[in-house]
Amino acid sequence: MDQRPPTTRWRTTLPTLLRRALRRPTPTTPPATHPTNPDAVVDCAVYVDGQRQPGRPHYTDAHHHSRRNRRAFVWLGLHDPTPAVMTAVGHTFGLDDLHIAQALTAGHRPTLQRHDDTTLLVLRTAAYVEHTELTDTSEVVDTGDIMIFIGDRFVVTVRHGAPGALTTVRHHLQQRRTLLTEGPWAVAYAICARMVDQYLDVANHVETDLERLEETVFARDRTADIAHIYQLKREIVELKRAVLPAQAPLRTLAGPTDGPPPALRRWFTDVDGDLARAVDRVNAYDDLLNSILQSRLAQLAVEQNNDMRKIAAWAAIAATQTAVAGIYGMNFTHMPELHWRYGYAGALLLMATAALTLHRLFRRSGWL
């Protein structure tokens, strides 16, 4: 049994514990990992000879696998990535800082850019918002954007906004193995075709809204407010901003270029033709809406003119009564019929006769 006092034992023990703690190995820092965001990475897959490989690998492993196999490429899909995720993805696939910065912001105009071995294709997404009736605050068209980075053996899609999900595109494309053998540009074609189909679908729904609005404007009991027309026009302008600028990049891809392989150019030509139909329809809807707006403004002007004529007619009738009452209210000493027994009744009869006569004349002329 240790007979030393407690103070002596602590003096002996503390230095010993300190020496032991100093001799312990320092914990090693865990290896750095790539930042991940489960909500940002929608899907990642490696395709070999048009066939998707099993599993969902990390994009770094998928990129390394595609670099070892000439017949393979990787498709990485991102949705609203954070700066950390996008920076890591950009460094993995060799994207420059400008492309990384562009991918972090939304609202880009459709364009086609090429830097070194990477091509950037930007498209706007569109979706129709269901609504029971059109109001001055109704949201009819919801838009976003999608950025497609196309490399030698990879394609990275970055989507901003709710519309334009690519799950259906990936599923349908995986069933067309022959098309997938063309590599990353096959993915770009499938996305372009999907976006143009969405433009046409939104245009169909907008046409229905236009027909309903036209019926309410020219109906007998008009219920269309001018604010409703302006709201639909703003939504069509938003759709035009998505559809019209897409003509230039798709037309470039359909022509002789260093981008898509020759086997895919005719497919891009077909998409460009569908886009031309969407452009024509959107422009026609905009022109029709302008005509409806002008018609409604003309109707308002006619209605105001009719109101002014009614007001003027009733004012003339009232002025006649005022004139008679004013004359007989002067009470001059020498005034005809002033002391007549039936003077009061005669004045009332005169006022009523004048009012009825003027009312009949105004009704016949269309003022009342």
Evaluate whether 197 touches 253 at the Cβ level (below 8 Å): no
189 with 261, same domain: the answer is: yes
Coil vs helix vs strand at 301: helix
pLDDT in tens, 27-37: 333 333 444 44
311 with 280, same domain: the answer is: no
Domain boundary residue, one of 301, 325, 346: 301
pLDDT value of residue 332: 67
Domain membership of residue 166 (yes or no) is yes
Domain boundary residue, one of 254, 280, 301: 301
183 with 76, same domain: the answer is: yes
265 with 352, same domain: the answer is: no
Domain membership of residue 272 (yes or no) is yes
Domain with 329 in it: what CATH number?
Answer: 1.20.58
Total tally of structural domains belonging to the chain: 2
The DSSP-derived string for 147-207 is: EEEE-SSEEEEEEESSS---HHHHHHHHT-HHHHTT-HHHHHHHHHHHHHHHHHHHHHHHH
212 with 314, same domain: the answer is: no
Which of 250, 231, 281 is CA-nearest to residue 131? Answer: 231
268 with 214, same domain: the answer is: yes
Domain membership of residue 243 (yes or no) is yes
pTM of the model: 0.74
296 with 326, same domain: the answer is: no
pLDDT value of residue 53: 92
Domain membership of residue 30 (yes or no) is no
Which of 107, 189, 94 is CA-nearest to residue 151? Answer: 94
pLDDT in tens for each of the 368 residues of the chain?
444 444 444 344 444 543 444 444 433 333 334 444 455 899 999 999 989 999 889 999 999 998 998 899 999 999 999 999 999 999 999 999 999 999 999 888 999 998 888 999 999 999 999 888 777 788 889 999 999 999 989 999 999 988 888 999 999 999 999 999 999 999 999 999 999 999 999 999 999 988 888 888 877 776 667 788 888 888 999 999 999 999 999 999 988 877 888 889 899 999 999 999 999 999 999 998 888 888 888 877 777 787 888 888 888 888 888 887 877 777 666 666 666 777 777 778 888 888 888 888 888 887 87
Domain membership of residue 27 (yes or no) is no
Domain membership of residue 323 (yes or no) is yes
pLDDT value of residue 257: 74
Domain with 64 in it: what CATH number?
Answer: 3.30.460.20
Evaluate whether 296 touches 224 at the Cβ level (below 8 Å): yes
316 with 284, same domain: the answer is: no
pLDDT value of residue 10: 37
Evaluate whether 50 touches 177 at the Cβ level (below 8 Å): yes
222 with 329, same domain: the answer is: no
81 with 204, same domain: the answer is: yes
| Structural domain boundaries enclosing 310 | 306-365
pLDDT value of residue 22: 40
Domain membership of residue 23 (yes or no) is no
Which amino acid makes up residue 191? I
Domain membership of residue 5 (yes or no) is no
pLDDT value of residue 228: 82
292 with 312, same domain: the answer is: no
352 with 297, same domain: the answer is: no
Domain boundary residue, one of 301, 323, 349: 301
